[in-house]
Every structure is written in structure tokens, then in C-alpha cells.
Amino acid sequence: MGACTNDDEQWSFSSASFVDRRSSKQVYDNVHGNIYLDPLSLKFIDTEQFQRLRDLKQLGLVHMVYPGASHSRFEHSLGVYWLAGEAVHAIKACQGLELGIDRFDMETVKLAGLLHDVGHGPFSHLFEKAILPQILHGSNWSHEDMSVRMIDYIVDEHNIDVDSQRLKKVKCVKDKKFLYDIVANGRNGIDVDKFDYIVRDTRACGMGCNFQFRRLMESMRVIGDEICYRAKDNLTIHKLFSTRADLHRTVYTHAKVKAIDLMLVDALTEADKFLKISSSIQEPAEFWKLDDSIMKTIETSSDHELKESRDLIRRIRRRDLYRFCNEFSVPKDSLDHFKAITPQDIVCSQRSGGIALREEDVAVSNVKIDLTRGRNNPLESINFFMDYESDEKFTIQDDRISHLLPAFYQDMIVRVYSKKPELVGAVSEAFENFQLKTFGIKPQVHSTPEKKKRRVI
């Protein structure tokens, strides 16, 4: 099919949007401007389970390092809802008849965008990636699974009149797979979820963002049940993944942010013995009551059983953080067989004499940063088309894009922290010994300053 240049098609698309907006509620978003919420979506939004997302910060405790990063999953979910609608409208305007996209499909995609995070845990991804595995060894709990269960719970709890087929498609689209890819694209990683959080997070943290997602939304095209992109937009797509990697390196895994994360993991792991936080993760009726306020609950509690957790949270408040000692990037040739470094590895690397470290004195953060496809170039999994007159889709090799693109697509960074200020020197030296013994390398980039090693409190 040719490009969308027909004036009647463009006018029809705009008119349809206008009719929808007359029956919708308008709210203002500081990223996307005016957002219009349709009546069905409002039935879900106006529930305590969805409103809970206001009490989940999108970036967990990042706001303690970047004060502006206080936006919530509520805002993000509205943004994804809106962009999902914009994307499916754009595809319908160009290929609606060809693909059989109807109003049912459009409303379903928007609802999927709205509810994609309704089962998310507190403190961003820290809850399921670090806290639960520490409390429940071998835990495979995921917010995606809980979101599916939470949708059913909300419908039943609030008697929401929604077609069962629509609900089934919201949770998982089997036919017209490209529709679900709009919200969460497991095939190539390009979706409106990323479009929203990349723009929203960079703005909140004061980072520049030269990724133009609207350029992709206006030109994308479905070929063979897959969303494809113009070949000349390959660098725009690369900016999407490189900006995401920059956010991970600069914001999400900032050394101070990870120090706070490690302390919160310790605090909640200890608190679970008394509060039984993990007991609420299986049932939506209990899970929706869990949000970021658990931190304040512990902090203000007078229960003796929570003293250790309370002390850790107060240390976070008072900026008495675990002390960053050193970091290194795992050599490329060691990545294939890399195993996460543990406090035991560091303690066992101590030389004889001096302070005897214990595992509980050391914290380690193993940070993986990539462009969504591990060590592979993400562009290799994306299909492009040359122009709107052609139905051929193809991938583009690195050397056909630019010789300035990275030759390697993944970093594994190991950071070590001392939980006590007076042990910084001993932990730093043990970590240096570990690097020499394991990888035959000298300390990289951040050697611990001598005055920091000698500091005793």
C-alpha cells in the first residue's frame, strides 16, 4: 500500500479522533500534553487498584539522587495508553482496510497500554529482581503475570461490563500479533512503553533526549503481521536503544542509586520476617495494598522486630549510605563464563593480616547494561522496508548503517560497597586482590582514594 497522502484519509482520521474526544475525559500530561480518556478506560482508572499506581514511583528510589525523578507509574500508564492509541490510529489511517483494524481493536490496544503495569511491585524493578529473590529463593514472580491476574480481579471486584473477548485480547493478542507489539514488543523491543518511559525519565532527570519517537510512529507499517520501519530511520531506532542504555548507565544504575537499592533490599529482607511482605504477592486482593509506602511504615514503626530495618532506612534518609569502594568492567573475553560476583568472593580474596572482613560487611552490585539484545545488535532483529510501494522487508547489517556504531553491545560492571565506613580500606583492598586473582587486571577507573580508605567513624 502507498504512503498516507490521501487528504480524505487524513481528514477521516482526524474526524474520528474528534468524535472520540467529545465523549472522553481530558487530562493534561506534562510530557504528551492533553490526553483523552475514553469511558471504558475510566472504569478501570477509577478503581483503587489502578489508583495505587500513584503510590509507585516509576524509578523507585532514583529520586534520592535525581530529585526530579518523582513521577509515578500512574503517569507512565496514562502515557502508554495515549501513545498506544496514537500508534494504532496511525496504522489504521494507512492500512485499516487492508489489515481489518476496527474500533474493537483500537480500544483493546489502548486498554492494554493502560493496564500493562497494573500488577507492578513497589520500588520499580527492584522488588521482583532483587528483593523477592532474596526473600523467596528461586522466586519467578513477575509483574507481567500479576498484571494479567489483576485485570481479572478489577473486572470482578468492580463489576466492569467489558466484553470477554476484549479482555482476553487485552491480556494476550493471538491474532493480529502486531497490535500487541505496539505496547510490548518481544520481537524487536520497539514499543510505546519504551517511547514513554525514555522521554519521561530523561526529562525528569534533566538529561537531553534526541530520540524522536513520533518520526517512527508516523512512518511505521505492517508487513506480514509485523511492524516494520523505513530503512532511512535506522539511526533514529539506534538512538532509541542508545538513549535507553544511557539511562541505565547514568540514572538507573548510578553508583549512589545502587547503594540505596542495596540498603533497601537488606531492609525489606529483614522486615519480611515480621511484616510477611512476601505473603501478599500471590493474591491480587492483597497485593494491590502493597506500594512504596511500606518504607514509611517501617521507618515510623516502634516495633522492636523492625529495628534493624528501621535503622537502615534512617541511614538512607540521613545519607549515611553503603560506601562505594570500586568498580570494574568484566573483560569481553570473560563474559561468556561470567558468574555474578558475591560478597563471599571479595571476603575470600583478603590477604592475611589486618581487619578480618565478614560477608555481611560487603555488598556487591552486578550491573548489566545492553541495548536490549544482550551482546547482539538490536537492529539485527528489526525488519525495514525501502518505501511504501514495496512489500519486501529486510534487516540491515551494521556496516551498512554507520562505522561509528559500537562494535560491542553489552557491559557487565561489578561494583563493591562497604556497609561500614571504617571498613572501606579493607574492602577496597580485598576487591583489588579479587580482580588481580580472577581476571589478572589491575583496578580500573576508580581506585579508592587513600583518604577514603583511612576514614574511620
What are the catalytic residues? 143
Task: List Cβ neighbours of 9 (8 Å cut-off, separation of 6 or more).
Answer: 93, 94
Give the angle subtended at the CA of 121 by the CAs of 115 and 126, to the nearest 5°.
130
The values of phi and psi at residue 394, to 5°, are -155, 160
Asked if residues 351 and 429 have their Cβ atoms less than 8 Å apart, the reply is yes
Q: State the pairing for strand pair 227-230/384-385.
A: parallel
Q: Which long-range contacts (CB under 8 A, 24 or more apart) does 421-425 make?
A: 421/323, 421/455, 421/456, 421/457, 422/455, 422/456, 422/457, 423/355, 423/357, 423/361, 424/323, 424/325, 424/448, 424/452, 424/453, 424/455, 425/452, 425/453, 425/454
